[in-house]
């Protein structure tokens, strides 16, 4: 026997109820999406205060000027333009605008971290990506090692491109694995043969000759050999250790 043809007979109310539910949900979603726009017209949510959090290297006023939040703004306005303006600052890595109801906006700032000074020839802080950070030294004290590079062809007006700095700055950052060494590191200097010399300790500094990338374990090995040599000759003055080779450490001692 053939099955009866499909029919909606007797199911009309169910279909109508389902359609009504869809319409209600759709209206609710549309209303939710338009809610910020509706709230933006309520004077209670007019921006009365804009605060900056997380900024240490940049003055809060500079961040506020960059953001340019108008007096007529509401906390429900789209913050993307303000975030983009602040994110364009060379010291800012990330920014997010957070609402603090009813009338406050908070600009949460994540800054780029200075890792070293680079001599250009003036000393300027640089982050691990090789980006020079325009930080006012009169308002922020930074105690960082100095990276000195040999003059490079193609460097305009003494400005070094990030790729020219990145490996050296990463080397300084790698030395943080040995806080005792990094804490007394004063300078990392590029030599004519492509190697580097780290100046360690107070004057006269111990010179540590190395190649990049830096291996903190090799430096520890060099310092250990130096310690043994000084135990054998307590009157000697340490001059340098050379850890440019994997299979040997060369120690240079003086007498005064």
Three-state SS annotation for 130-146:
CCECCCCCCCCCCCCCE
Query: What's the structural domain count of the chain?
Result: 2
Co-location of 219 and 162 in the same domain: yes
> What is the rounded CA–CA span in Å between residue 121 and residue 134?
15
Whether residue 154 has pLDDT greater than 80: no
Whether residue 173 has pLDDT greater than 70: yes
Which of 53-57, 153-157, 244-248 shows the lowest mean pLDDT across its residues? 153-157
Co-location of 243 and 151 in the same domain: yes
Region 147-162: what's the mean pLDDT? 69
Region 51-60: what's the mean pLDDT? 96
> What is the rounded CA–CA span in Å between residue 112 and residue 57?
9
Q: Which domain-ending residue is among 111, 134, 157?
A: 111
User: What's the pLDDT at 6?
Assistant: 39
Region 47-55: what's the mean pLDDT? 97
Co-location of 157 and 197 in the same domain: yes
Higher pLDDT, residue 115 or 40:
115
Q: Kindly report the CA angle at 67 between 66 and 68, in degrees rounded to 5?
A: 95
| Domain annotation covers residue 20 | no
Classify 26 in phi/psi space as left (phi over 0), alpha (psi -120 to 50) or beta: alpha
Co-location of 164 and 105 in the same domain: no
Q: Which residues contact 105 (CB under 8 A, 6 or more apart)?
A: 47, 49, 50, 51, 69, 73, 75, 79, 97, 98, 99
Handedness of CA 155, 156, 162, 163 (dihedral sign): negative
37-41 contact pairs (CB < 8 A, 24+): 37/76, 39/74, 39/76, 40/74, 40/76, 40/77, 41/74
Determine the length of the chain. Answer: 256
CATH of the domain at 221: 3.40.50
User: What's the pLDDT at 215?
Assistant: 87
- Model confidence at 8, in pLDDT bands (50, 70, 90)? very low
Region 118-133: what's the mean pLDDT? 90
| Domain annotation covers residue 40 | no
Write down the pTM of the prediction. Answer: 0.75
User: What's the pLDDT at 164?
Assistant: 80
- Model confidence at 17, in pLDDT bands (50, 70, 90)? low
Co-location of 164 and 230 in the same domain: yes
Q: Which residue from 149, 226, 210 is spatially nearest to 175, judged by alpha carbons?
A: 210
Q: Which domain-ending residue is among 111, 141, 163?
A: 111
User: What's the pLDDT at 39?
Assistant: 63
Co-location of 128 and 106 in the same domain: no
Co-location of 227 and 211 in the same domain: yes
Region 6-30: what's the mean pLDDT? 47
Co-location of 61 and 139 in the same domain: no
> What is the rounded CA–CA span in Å between residue 48 and residue 74?
9
> What is the rounded CA–CA span in Å between residue 151 and residue 158?
8
CA atoms within 13 A on the CB side of 197: 12
Whether residue 72 has pLDDT greater than 80: yes
Strands across the sheet with 92-100, in order?
49-53, 104-111, 92-100
Q: How much of the chain exceeds pLDDT 90, in percent?
A: 58
> What is the rounded CA–CA span in Å between residue 243 and residue 254?
18
| Domain annotation covers residue 196 | yes
| Domain annotation covers residue 191 | yes
How many other β-carbons are positioned within 10 Å of the β-carbon of residue 112?
20
Residues 183-234: tens digit of each pLDDT: 999 999 999 998 999 999 876 789 999 999 888 889 999 999 999 988 988 8
Co-location of 80 and 169 in the same domain: no
Co-location of 153 and 106 in the same domain: no
pLDDT mean across residues, the chain: 84
> What is the rounded CA–CA span in Å between residue 205 and residue 22?
77
Residues 88-124: tens digit of each pLDDT: 999 999 999 999 999 999 999 999 999 999 987 789 9
Domain boundaries, position 90: 45-111
Region 143-162: what's the mean pLDDT? 74
Q: Which domain-ending residue is among 58, 87, 111?
A: 111
| Domain annotation covers residue 153 | yes
Q: Which residues contact 39 (CB under 8 A, 6 or more apart)?
A: 45, 74, 76
- Model confidence at 137, in pLDDT bands (50, 70, 90)? confident
């Amino acid at each position: 026997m053939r099955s009866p043809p499909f029919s909606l007979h007797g199911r009309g109310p169910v279909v109508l109820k389902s359609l009504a539910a869809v319409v209600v949900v759709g209206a609710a979603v549309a209303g939710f999406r338009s809610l910020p726009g509706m709230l933006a017209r309520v004077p209670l949510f007019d921006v009365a205060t804009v605060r900056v959090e997380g900024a240490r290297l940049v003055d809060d006023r500079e961040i506020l000027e960059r953001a340019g939040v108008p007096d007529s703004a509401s906390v429900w306005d789209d913050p993307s333009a303000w975030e983009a303006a602040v994110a364009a600052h060379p010291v800012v890595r990330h920014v997010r605008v957070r609402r603090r109801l009813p009338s406050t906006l908070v600009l949460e700032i994540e800054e780029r971290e200075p890792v070293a000074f680079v001599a250009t020839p003036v000393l300027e802080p640089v982050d691990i990506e090789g980006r020079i950070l325009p930080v006012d030294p009169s308002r922020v004290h930074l105690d960082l090692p100095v990276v000195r590079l040999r003059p490079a062809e193609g460097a305009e007006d003494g400005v070094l491109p990030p790729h020219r700095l990145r490996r050296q700055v990463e080397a300084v950052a790698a030395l943080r694995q040995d806080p005792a060494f990094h804490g007394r590191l004063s300078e990392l200097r590029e030599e004519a043969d492509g190697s580097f010399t780290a100046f360690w300790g107070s004057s006269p500094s111990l010179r540590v000759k190395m190649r990049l990338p830096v291996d903190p374990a090799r430096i520890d090995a060099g310092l250990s050999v130096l310690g043994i040599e000084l135990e054998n000759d307590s009157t000697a003055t340490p001059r340098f250790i050379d850890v440019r080779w994997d299979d040997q450490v060369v120690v240079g001692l003086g007498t005064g």
